[in-house]
Amino acid sequence: MKTLFRGVRLLDPASGRDSLGSLLVVSGRIAAVDPAEPPSDAAVVEGEGLALCPGLIDLRVGLREPGEEHKESLATLSSRAVAGGITTLVALPDTLQPLDQPALVEFVSRRAASFGCVTVLPMGAATKGCAGKELAEMGLLREAGAVAFSDGRRPIADARTMRLALAYAASFGSMVVQHPEEPSLVSGAVATEGPLASSLGLPSAPAAAEAILVARDIRLAELTGGHVHFGPVSTGEALDLIRSAKAKGLRVTCDTAPPYFDLNETAIGEWRTYARLSPPLRAEEDRLAVLASLADGTIDAIGSDHQPQDTDAKRLPFALSEPGGVGVETLLAVTLTLVHNGQLPLLDAIALLTSRPAALLGLDAGRLAVGAPADLCLFDPDRAWQIRAEELLGPSRNTPHDGRAVQGRVVGTWKAGHRVFG
């Protein structure tokens, strides 16, 4: 099976290419870029100047299967991911039944593969039950397909456990992904400490809770030689620590999620539970620091931090509602606002969604190179639309960006050469 993309603006951050051209796909892989004599039997996709980039790699997705399929199954996740141009997603292991058994890791990737839309790469639990006490069977989990280790949204609180996890994971070449909030400081908090939370009377924690844990874990990475990855990072102070750790040559990386550069805490407004996130939305100065760290390269990737919650979990008094927002369908559009605002060059923005997360995990995907899998995203960088919660694919529609006007829309998505969206 052959497909020829003609008249497309090829965006390939790995090679730095941004120009009109064509791309030939044969048997699920990229066979040629700008083929001189394209085969006459290829199906043709006329780009008409639309942008074609590698299928997006979403580094941070919360799963609800197994256990909470009413919030989202792997089937619904797959269809909304490809609607957002995503062809590979990295899943957090803190499902209701945490991914601390090789069979569960294998179940998730196999079941997702059965839909043929998107590759799901699960992280394995760093500790048994993601409970932060005893190490999980990292070696066996890795053999079953785990691409990194984490306790998901639960920070690994105990310094000794974190030290052991970093040291042990390093022997498999795996990174430990840490949710950057010092747990005892943020216990019970639902907002960032400051005038807004005080005036709403919401339990809050200082933004410094992030830097406090990041500082500890950078030191532990140095001690063990392990690779620590923080995400989603949301404060300038933590980003400063990460920037200087990188300058020292330590194995420290991080990601952030669109709410942390697109919104600040005022999005809570009057008790909008869709804006209750973990970490909580921050003050404007921290949002600006995240922007600056995207621009200077300190942040390695943008992940959606997709966390579906159903109506029952969100239609509650603010502090009783579950944290998290959906994000796979809006990942590209919200990221492109940075480009339209002149805050980030287009190729850099696409790199944060493709080649850079691929490099982090050593993936084959994320580039438009001959021989690479034909995972592709065709999009109109300029098309304006409005994010509306009720128009998202379900079942959970808890977007913190409800009502946001954005520019940039996915037109088609291809997985291994097959059109899976558009």
Partner 1 sequence: MAEGGFGRRIGCRRHLLGIAGLEPRAIAGVLDLAETYISLARQGGARDVLRGRTVLNLFFESSTRTRTSFELAAKRLGADVIAMSPPASAMSKGESLLDTATTLNAMAIDVLVVRHDQSGTAALLAQNVDATVINAGDGAHEHPTQALVDALTIRRRRGTLAGLTVAICGDVMHSRVARSNVRLMTMMGSRVRICAPPTLLPAGAAAWGVEVFTDMRAALRGADVVMMLRLQRERMTRSFVPSAREYFRFYGLDPEKLTLAKPDALVMHPGPMNRGVEIDSAVADDLAHSVIEEQVEMGVAVRMAVLDLLVRQV
Residues near partner 1, by CB under 8 A: 193-204, 206, 270-271, 312, 315-320
37 vs 270, which CB is nearer to partner 1?
270
- Of 217, 305, 375, 402, the catalytic one is 305
Contact indicator for 155, 183 with CB cutoff of 8 Å? yes
Give all strands of the β-sheet with 56-61 in edge-to-edge order: 56-61, 86-91, 119-122
Q: In whole angstroms, how close is the CB of 284 to partner 1 at the nearest point?
A: 14
Contact indicator for 137, 102 with CB cutoff of 8 Å? yes
Q: 94: Cβ–Cβ under 8 A, 6 or more apart, which residues? A: 62, 125, 130, 150, 151, 152, 153, 154
The residue among 69, 1, 24, 4 whose CA lies nearest residue 368 is: 24
Q: In whole angstroms, how close is the CB of 273 to partner 1 at the nearest point?
A: 9
Q: In whole angstroms, how close is the CB of 321 to partner 1 at the nearest point?
A: 9
Q: In whole angstroms, how close is the CB of 45 to partner 1 at the nearest point?
A: 47
* DSSP strands (E only) in 225-348: 227-230, 252-256, 301-302
3-state helix, strand, coil in the chain (%, to 5): 35, 25, 40
Judge whether 255 counts as a catalytic residue: no
Q: What does the alpha-carbon distance between residue 419 and residue 269 come to, in Å, rounded to a whole number?
A: 40
The residue among 377, 308, 374 whose CA lies nearest residue 349 is: 377
149 vs 318, which CB is nearer to partner 1?
318
46 vs 312, which CB is nearer to partner 1?
312
Beta bridge partners of 406: 385
Residues tagged active-site: 305
